[in-house]
Structure 1
Amino acid sequence: MISVRARILVPVLVLILLGDALISWLVLRDSHHEIEDVYDAQLAQSARLLQGVLRQRDPGEADWDRLYQAFDQAMSRVGEEGVAHPYETRLTFQVWRSDGQLLVRSAEAPVLAAPPATLGSHDIMENGNDWCAFLLADPQQGLLIWVGERDDIRQDVIKRIMRHTLWPTLIGVPLLTVLIWLCIGWGLKPLRVMALSIRGRNSDTLQPLHLKPLPTDLEPMQTALNRLLVQVDELLERERRFIADAAHELRTPLAILRIHAQNAQSAETSEQRREALEFLVSGVDRATRIASQLLTMARIEPQLNNPVRSRVQLTELVREELAELTPLAMEKGVELVLEGDEECWVETEPVALAIALQNLVTNALNFSSSGREVTVVVHKDEEGRVCLRVEDAGPGIEEGELPRLFERFYSRGNANGAGLGLAIVQMVTRKIGASLHIHNLASGGVCAELSLNQTNSTL
């Protein structure tokens, strides 16, 4: 991939060259035509000057010789006596009577058998040379005055004029190219400074860029890069947290699994082997739950940064989630009960809310005894907020331990628990703008109440 400077300069230079070539061609064409007209006007002016002088002559044939000598010398002394102009040309003249009789002709004038038939400017070919001429009729004196110059001499002068016209272009285009190159380099300097700043940063540094001052065109780029750096930092932080959590929580279960496996290998009786294998299966189940919860946290955390809200029927969502959890409840011998309003709509992130409900109900099932109930209630409180309450009939929680329930890997009274369920619920509720409150019931057991704010609900 070529550089940005080259990508800009090459098209610009091509356009300049093409434009300059087209403009130069048009200028040369028009200039050539205009210079031709100027020289034709000069011929006409010379013919009229000659006409004026002829009107001042004395009658008599002797005057023609004297006039011939004077005009021939004046018109043929181009560049002599140190006073000349580089664009002068040699003019010739001829004078006829109206009946076609030649009266006088300069030495270098072409020999014409008769005056040209066309008055004014005209071109003729004579003796292998092209001539540009002007024929003027003077009825007062009965004369035809012809003034001309060789076309090759005229074209040589025009070419010199053209060359002088083209030199500034031929010199200016390379100079302009260099200046454009330098100007583009100056304009791209902030981008180069930004690239050098990024290249010089340590690979572990994800701090936002703060390059000042910046052109307005680069400020959106810096903002986008800073946003990307923040996202990468958050992603790496989640990975570090996930790895730390997994290493922290799985290290002990894996060590215990190894001990149970070794006990099964060294068991002396079938009863000892069966007991060791039961512990091994229980440990595998706990490690599986921990891994599942860790993966759940890692999966939903980035999704909750940009929640996709929609209007959902809360009671219907709860009914569907309870149906999925029914096999787990039957395995534990616990009955799931749904109570509350049938028509209760909320504006929320349904997937995240479902994950929170699954963890609350699963947590309640873990602390409920066989033959008891776990009740899920959907209702509106006195302030008009939509509430989702999960109640169990377990032993309850000591008041001093309630603040620690949301700590990661804190599992009270459940040796097989991962200690991540309520931490996930709290993370979800914060992201969707809800609130979570856990308290003991007067009748025994624990109530976890999830409240959706009015801004998140359609009442």
Structure 2
Amino acid sequence: MKSIRLYLLLALLATITLVNFVSLLHGYQSSMQKAESLFDSRLKSTAMLIKLANSAKQNQQHSAEKEDPYTFFQIFNESGNELIIHSSNAPHIMLGELSEGFHDVNFASYRWRNYVHEDTKLQRWIVVAERIDIRYILAEDVVLESLVPIVLAIPVSALIIWFAVGLGLKPLTLFATQLSHKRVDDLSPITLERVPSELTTVVNSTNSLLLRLEEAFDREQRFSADAAHELRTPVSVLKVHLHNLGTRLGRQDEDIVLLTEGVERMGHLIEQILALYRTSPDQAAVKFEQVDVFKTVQSLIAFNYDTFDRKQQTIDLDGESHVIEANLFALETLVMNLINNANKYTPEQGEIHVEVKRHELGVLLRVEDSGPGIPEAQRERVFERFYRLHGDRHDSGVVGCGLGLTIVKHIADLHHATINLGTSANGGGLRVDVIFPLRAISHA
């Protein structure tokens, strides 16, 4: 069942049509019987008029002047063997029985309905007849004309039912509209005025589900904050102990170096997992505000400039201010992951180019580096969680956890943005384009 409205329309229309058909059939049969009775009464009345009109014309034998091809009359003597008066199209013999009442007879290739009446005063028999097929046509025309309005009422009923059902389903439409327009961070109850009893259970169940989801998200957010605190502290302490141990044993000790790299990787993994959770599109409580993309990128590059300077890398930023509706933390996380990836995979004295500009589909954020890039066949897979080219250690020697571009993709989805990977013009490195949609744009 694709449409409740269409189903109700067809069901009600089928019911109305069936009831109308039975009613029409019964009405047709009843009306035809009544029409037959009326025609018989007319025949009888005609016979009575002929009786009165000819009461003074005894023993006069002649033909009537008026001729009707569908009716005839005859006046016989008492014995029925002598035709005294008749219409011009009437037979010259008695058709059927010479008895009072109605009879069906054959004459001139037609069936006729005749009425025989005995005039006891004049001692004559009066016969009036009418063609049955003409009676049927006349009766059917009258009956069908009365049935036409009922038949025409069916499409009118369909139109009325369509709008009536639509009006009845309006609360359901409003309910669906509220659900579809809810933001990912909006778990407030759905409110409808004058909710029908049939929809009350659905609305209450949905609101109950939204409440449980809100409670679950609150618990997970508290867990995220607690986990961040509990995990960051031991890692920080471990870093301090390793630093002290390295000072005591010598920083060139291979075991100390490997252990330090492992702790750094663990700390990075913790930060990335927490960032992935906080920026995932399926998580609630994501607040949007007006954010200038260019200024955000500019401040993050300035904040991390020492990181690029240590590798003697050149990073430049082109573009102009464009304000979009975004979550500031998520946008900063996206930019940080992109420029950190560019920093890690670009060799020393390499070049990194960042650009923010207007695009035909919205606002374009582009980050290009002069690193090894990503083969075209692998560009879809790098958005998968924990996927890294060539395993845990890239050919460039960079150690990572495989979550950076996954987080970027999640943040792009959160903002309904598109992300494309390509080849940079700077020595064949990686080019990342993130296009924020037009609907989120307002110019500064």
TM-score for the superposition, normalised by structure 2: 0.50
Q: Does the 8 Å contact 2:116/2:125 carry over to 1?
A: yes
Other-structure match for 1:9: 9
Q: 1:106 to 1:207 in 2, by over 3 A?
A: same
- Structure whose CA Rg is larger: 1
Q: Is the 8 A contact 2:96 2:105 kept in 1?
A: no
Does residue 229 (structure 1) correspond to residue 180 (structure 2)? The answer is no
Matched, 1:39 2:43: no
Counterparts of 1:115 and 1:124 in 2: how far apart (Å)?
Answer: 6
Contact kept, 8 Å, 1:96 with 1:115, in 2: the verdict is no
* Aligned residue in 1 for 2:133: 152
Residue 244 to residue 189, structure 1, CA distance change in 2 (3 Å): same
Secondary structure in 2 matching 1:218: helix
Other-structure match for 1:128: 109
Q: Is the 8 A contact 1:110 1:127 kept in 2?
A: no
**Aligned counterpart for 2:193 among listed residues 212, 217, 225:** 212
Structure 1's 58 and 95: CA in aligned 2 closer, same or farther, altered over 3 A?
Answer: closer
Counterpart-to-counterpart distance in 1, 2:209 and 2:222? 20
Judge conservation of contact 2:74–2:85 (CA < 8 Å) in 1: yes
Structure 1 residue 245, shift from structure 2 partner: 2.1
**Displacement after TM superposition at 1:254 (Å):** 4.7
Secondary structure of 2:174 counterpart: helix
Distance, in Å, in 1 between the alignment partners of 2:215 and 2:120 is: 103
Q: 1:103 aligned to 2:84?
A: yes
Aligned position for 1:411: none
Of 228, 249, 253, the match for 2:230: 249
Give the 3-state SS of the residue equivalent to 1:209 in structure 2. coil
Normalised by the size of structure 1, how large is the TM-score? 0.49
1:149 CA drift (Å): 0.7
**Secondary structure class of the residue paired with 1:99:** coil
* Structure 2 residue 10 is matched with structure 1 residue 30: no
1:166 is matched with 147
Counterparts of 2:28 and 2:245, CA distance in 1: 103
Take 1:138 and 1:183, find their aligned partners in 2: how far apart are those partners? 65
| 1:198–1:114 CA distance, 2 compared to 1 (3 A) | closer
Structural RMSD (CA)? 3.3
**Superposed displacement of residue 142, structure 1:** 2.1
Letter in 1 for 2:202: M
**Corresponding residue number in structure 1 for 2:159:** 178
Tell me, what secondary structure is at the counterpart of 2:80? Answer: coil
CA displacement at 1:207 relative to structure 2: 0.9
Superposed CA offset, 1:386-432 (max 9, x none): xxxxxxxxxxxxxxxxxxxxxxxxxxxxxxxxxxxxxxxxxxxxxxx
Residue equivalent to 2:71: 91
Unaligned runs of at least 5 residues, structure 2: 250-254, 256-444
Report how far residue 226 of structure 1 moved. Answer: 1.8
| Counterpart residue identity of residue 5, structure 1 | R
Structure 1 counterpart of 2:79, one-letter code: D
Aligned-pair CA distance for 1:28: 0.9
SS in 1 for 2:191: coil
Deviation at 1:15, TM superposition (A): 1.4
Assess if the C-alpha contact under 8 Å between 1:123 and 1:131 holds in 2. Answer: yes
How many positions carry a matched residue from both structures? 253
Map 1:395-406 onto structure 2 (within 5 A): none
1:206 deviates by 0.7
1:64-83 superposed matches below 5 A: 64-65=61-62, 68-69=63-64, 73=66, 76=68
C-alpha separation between the residues in 2 aligned to 1:241 and 1:165?
76
Q: Which residue of 2 aligns with 1:341?
A: none
